[in-house]
Amino acid sequence: MSLAVDIPKARAPRRKPYLLAALGLVVLVAITVGLSRLRPAAPTVDRASVWLDTVKRGPLVRQVKGSGTLVPESIRWLTADTAGRVERIHVRPGATVIAGTLLMELSNPDVQLQALEAERQLASAEGEFLELREVLQTQRLSQQAAVAALTAEVADTARRAQANTALFEKSFVGDLETKQVNEKAEESRQRLELERQRLDVMSQSLRQRLASQQEQVERLKAVARFRRQQVESMKVLAGENGVLQELPLELGQWVTPGVLLAKVVKPEKLKAELRIAETQARDILPGLKALVDTRNGVVEGTVARVAPAASQGTVQVEIALPDVLPKGARPDLTVEGTVEIERLDNVLSVGRPAGAQPDSTLALFRLLPEGDEAVRIPVKLGRGSVNAVEVVQGLAEGDQVVLSDMTAWDAVERVRLR
């Protein structure tokens, strides 16, 4: 019996799967390399959400803008000269007043007592002055009388001496008697000279003592006058014609020296005080033309004064306005003003981009000719105005740029507008 034995047949090797895998790997690498070389897609920005402007060539008016208020040209501040209590208020803010209008009355018994004491001291000093003048004049008159008596005595002794000398020459009198008469005459003459010197000293002393006492009287007069003025100042007068704008006090309120009592203004003559950013105020000079919007109309004015120092990031600029203003213009009214600095001819300009500063370089997105993409480019800016700025380098006439704030796209070089 014979057994059948199966002999396995040899199989050909299967290479097709390996070839496919290798081919797929090659294709994957090619795709990866191709994708790596592709430019990333530009982010999309809504065209309606950005502000576009076109670079143009022509005149450019340089202006700076600021807000402020209307203030009177003439303001009279009434302050307290002395402490006191408000007893009466006769006029309220808004009333038309004249120089002698009584606005309010203050009271302070201490001030009135001080005035009375000053008057008493003045009267006492004037009495002492009169008494001293009387005493000194009496003394001077007595001395003048003594000088007059001695003058007569000197004249008499001189005549006696002259007569004795003549008699002595004729031997009618002796030598001793003649000498005695001559010595008496010399003594009288010397006494007269001394009394005259005493009179001069007395007269000089009298003038000095009276002058000193008179100065004391004048000082007390000044004190009394000051005290009277303090009493009178408790009746607060307007001081000039105008309108009472402020009176920030109530009955019974105690005020101290220097406290504001009232404010009187002349509303018919106003000026504008604008606050201009310190970075824009460097070219403002007195005499420049300005336009002020009073909300009821635009008036033309002139820069009258520029503050020498900045305050809280702004510079105060005063604008002189015409006498006739639009109806409704009044003190403390909020206004906006524009100052014209200069006019430039034939320059490239564009609307002022967000955050742009004059004489600086800024990155802006410029639209491509297709109009649906914008690329970032550096732009050098020149002189600036309120709503426009000069283009020095980076843009050409007719270019369109995005002026809106694009800080959200700082990481990309191009954006797509839709």
CA angle 286, 304, 329 (to 5 degrees): 140
Residue corresponding to tokens 């307290």: 80
Q: Please give the pLDDT value at position 4.
A: 44
Q: Please give the pLDDT value at position 32.
A: 61
Q: Into which CATH architecture does domain 47-71+268-417 fall? A: Beta Barrel (2.40)
Helix (H) or strand (E) holding 140: helix 109-169
Query: 404, 410 in Cβ contact below 8 A?
Result: no
Q: Record the tokens describing residue 87, joined without a space.
A: 């007893």
What is the pLDDT tens value at each position of the chain, 418 positions in all?
Answer: 344 444 444 444 555 566 666 666 776 766 665 545 545 567 888 888 888 999 999 998 888 899 999 999 888 999 999 999 999 999 999 899 999 999 999 999 999 999 999 999 999 988 888 888 888 888 788 778 778 877 877 777 777 767 667 666 666 666 677 677 777 777 777 877 887 888 888 778 788 888 888 899 999 999 999 999 999 999 999 988 989 989 999 999 999 999 999 999 988 889 999 999 888 888 899 999 999 999 888 999 999 999 999 999 999 999 999 988 888 888 889 999 999 988 888 889 999 888 888 888 989 999 988 778 889 999 999 888 888 889 999 989 999 999 988 888 888 888 888 7
One of 3.60.150.10, 2.60.40.10, 3.40.50.300, 2.40.50.100 is the CATH number of 75-102+235-265, namely 2.40.50.100
**By C-alpha distance, which of 189, 194, 197, 200 is closest to 153?**
189
Per DSSP, what are the bridge partners of residue 86? 106
User: Rounded CA gap, 194 and 178, in Å?
Assistant: 25
- Give the SS3 label for residue 118: helix
- Sheet containing 254-255: order of strands: 235-237, 102-107, 84-89, 254-255
Q: Please give the pLDDT value at position 275.
A: 95
Strands annotated E in 220-372 = 235-237, 242-246, 254-255, 260-265, 270-277, 289-293, 298-306, 314-320, 334-351, 361-367
What is the pTM for the complete model shown? Answer: 0.57
- Give the SS3 label for residue 131: helix
Q: Please give the pLDDT value at position 220.
A: 92
